């Protein structure tokens, strides 16, 4: 019973990690860049979701329209993903594009700085008081023979798997996806195919940020109290999942996200829970020692210039 209960929780946390890891993974494979601000984009997405849902709820309360809570949640996810994609594109345009030919270390440091700016900018804008994500759907608990599952957990897992599948199809089947795969292999030659690099970079950031926003809202549904530093630890862990999944692999990042969730949830079954992350990430470290390229890393050309 405890096992299945943990399994449910692992799937929920895995969903957060997977959605955030996808953005890390895409940017890393396509632009050769660790976007260390990505965890903070998750945070910004959660706050935008907070803003959008609060606005929708108060509009509904004023009688502007009558919408059920679940529909407000769906609208919140869609609108916030859209808005947060612009945050990602701005970060790319302002922070990373000028550094495209700079040493990779400079770009990584830029990411850290953008992260701090997003955190403290939020603090400056909204103050230190924590905000509470509005409760849009009632929690219903199902008792599956002693294992308790809530409708929220089911929704979180389904939304995250659906989005990850959608991204996978996008990359497999569209010409933008094809260009992204080509960029992951050999960035420098792609302009010779008539592909505008800057637009592709913007698209990559937009997609990753939209997924991070979805994760942020799902997180807000499960854990409604938001704070400006909520993206740091979860962002680092998702970054680990992205590396574990293998360079540029959507399937890999998703599975690795869930794997992290599992390891984190199952370690406390055996060890004291204060040792959870210590043991969980020691396991991850050992996996990387034996599989330094992760699980599904695709081949790529090491040449950086034409």
Partner 1 sequence: MLLEVNELRVSYGNIKALHGLDFQIDEGEIVCIIGANGAGKSTTLKAISRMVPVEAGTKMTFQGKDLLQYQPDKVVSKLGISHVPEGRRLFENLTVTENLMLATFARRDREQIALDIKRVFSIFPRLEERQTQKSGTLSGGEQQMLAVGRAYMSGRKVMLLDEPSMGLAPLLMMSMFEALKEINSQGTTILLVEQNARLALQFASRGYVLENGHMVLEGPSKELLENPDVKKAYLGG
Distance between CA atoms of residues 113 and 61, nearest Å: 40
- 265 touches 283 (CB < 8 A): no
301 sits near partner 1 (criterion: CB under 8 A) = yes
Q: How far out from the chain centre does Cα 218 lie?
A: 11
26 sits near partner 1 (criterion: CB under 8 A) = no
Q: What is the DSSP string of 189-242?
A: GGGGGT--HHHHHHHHHHHHHHHHHHHHHHHHHHS-EE-TTHHHHHHHHHHHHH
Distance between CA atoms of residues 207 and 166, nearest Å: 11
At its nearest, how many Å lie between partner 1 and the CB of residue 129? 47
> Using the rule CB under 8 A, which residue among 186, 232, 276, 295 binds partner 1?
186
Partners of 143 in beta bridges: 148
The backbone torsions φ and ψ at residue 234, rounded to the nearest 5 degrees and listed phi first, read: -65, -35
Distance between CA atoms of residues 122 and 220, nearest Å: 16
At its nearest, how many Å lie between partner 1 and the CB of residue 148? 44
128 sits near partner 1 (criterion: CB under 8 A) = no
At its nearest, how many Å lie between partner 1 and the CB of residue 120? 36
At its nearest, how many Å lie between partner 1 and the CB of residue 83? 28
At its nearest, how many Å lie between partner 1 and the CB of residue 255? 20
195 sits near partner 1 (criterion: CB under 8 A) = yes
> Using the rule CB under 8 A, which residue among 179, 234, 260, 280 binds partner 1?
179
At its nearest, how many Å lie between partner 1 and the CB of residue 305? 9
Cβ proximity to partner 1: between 182 and 287 the closer is 182
> Using the rule CB under 8 A, which residue among 86, 170, 185, 229 binds partner 1?
185
Nearest to 159 by CA among 137, 176, 192: 137
Cβ proximity to partner 1: between 176 and 281 the closer is 176
Handedness of CA 300, 239, 123, 53 (dihedral sign): positive
Cβ proximity to partner 1: between 1 and 193 the closer is 193
Token digits for 42? 């998750």
Which residue has 């055996």 as its token pair? 270
227 sits near partner 1 (criterion: CB under 8 A) = no
At its nearest, how many Å lie between partner 1 and the CB of residue 180? 10
Token digits for 210? 């939209």
The backbone torsions φ and ψ at residue 28, rounded to the nearest 5 degrees and listed phi first, read: -65, -45
> Using the rule CB under 8 A, which residue among 154, 178, 232, 288 binds partner 1?
178
At its nearest, how many Å lie between partner 1 and the CB of residue 124? 37
Stretch that binds partner 1, among 61-69, 123-131, 202-210, 298-306 (CB under 8 A): 298-306
> Using the rule CB under 8 A, which residue among 32, 182, 283, 288 binds partner 1?
182
189 sits near partner 1 (criterion: CB under 8 A) = yes
Q: How many residues bind partner 1 (CB under 8 A)?
A: 23
Handedness of CA 219, 221, 223, 229 (dihedral sign): positive
Residue ranges binding partner 1 (CB under 8 A)? 175, 178-179, 181-182, 184-186, 188-189, 191-197, 298-301, 303, 306
């Amino acid at each position: 019973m405890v096992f299945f209960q943990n399994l449910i929780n692992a799937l929920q946390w895995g969903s957060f990690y997977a959605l955030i890891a996808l953005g890390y993974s895409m940017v890393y494979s396509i632009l050769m860049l660790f976007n260390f601000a990505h965890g903070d984009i998750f945070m910004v997405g959660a706050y935008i979701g907070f803003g959008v849902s609060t606005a929708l709820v108060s509009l509904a309360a004023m009688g502007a329209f009558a919408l059920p809570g679940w529909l407000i949640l769906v609208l919140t996810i869609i609108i916030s993903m859209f808005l947060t994609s612009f945050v990602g594109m701005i970060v790319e345009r302002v922070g990373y594009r000028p550094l495209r030919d700079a040493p990779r270390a400079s770009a990584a440091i830029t990411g850290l700085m953008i992260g701090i700016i997003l955190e403290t900018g939020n603090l400056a804008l909204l103050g230190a008081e924590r905000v509470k994500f509005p409760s849009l759907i009632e929690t219903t608990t199902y008792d599956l023979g002693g294992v308790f599952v809530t409708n929220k957990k089911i929704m979180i897992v389904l939304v995250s798997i659906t989005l990850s599948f959608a991204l996978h199809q996008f990359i497999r089947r569209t010409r933008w996806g094809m260009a992204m795969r080509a960029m992951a292999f050999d960035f420098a030659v792609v302009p010779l195919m008539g592909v505008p690099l800057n637009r592709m970079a913007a698209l990559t950031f937009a997609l990753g940020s939209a997924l991070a926003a979805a994760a942020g809202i799902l997180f807000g549904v499960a854990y409604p109290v938001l704070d400006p530093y909520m993206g740091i630890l979860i962002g680092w862990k998702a970054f680990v999942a992205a590396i574990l999944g293998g360079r540029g692999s959507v399937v890999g990042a998703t599975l690795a996200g869930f794997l992290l969730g599992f390891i984190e949830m199952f370690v406390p079954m055996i060890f004291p829970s204060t040792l959870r992350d210590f043991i969980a990430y020691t396991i991850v470290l050992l996996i990387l020692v034996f599989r330094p390229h992760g699980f599904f890393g695709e081949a790529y050309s090491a040449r950086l210039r034409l």
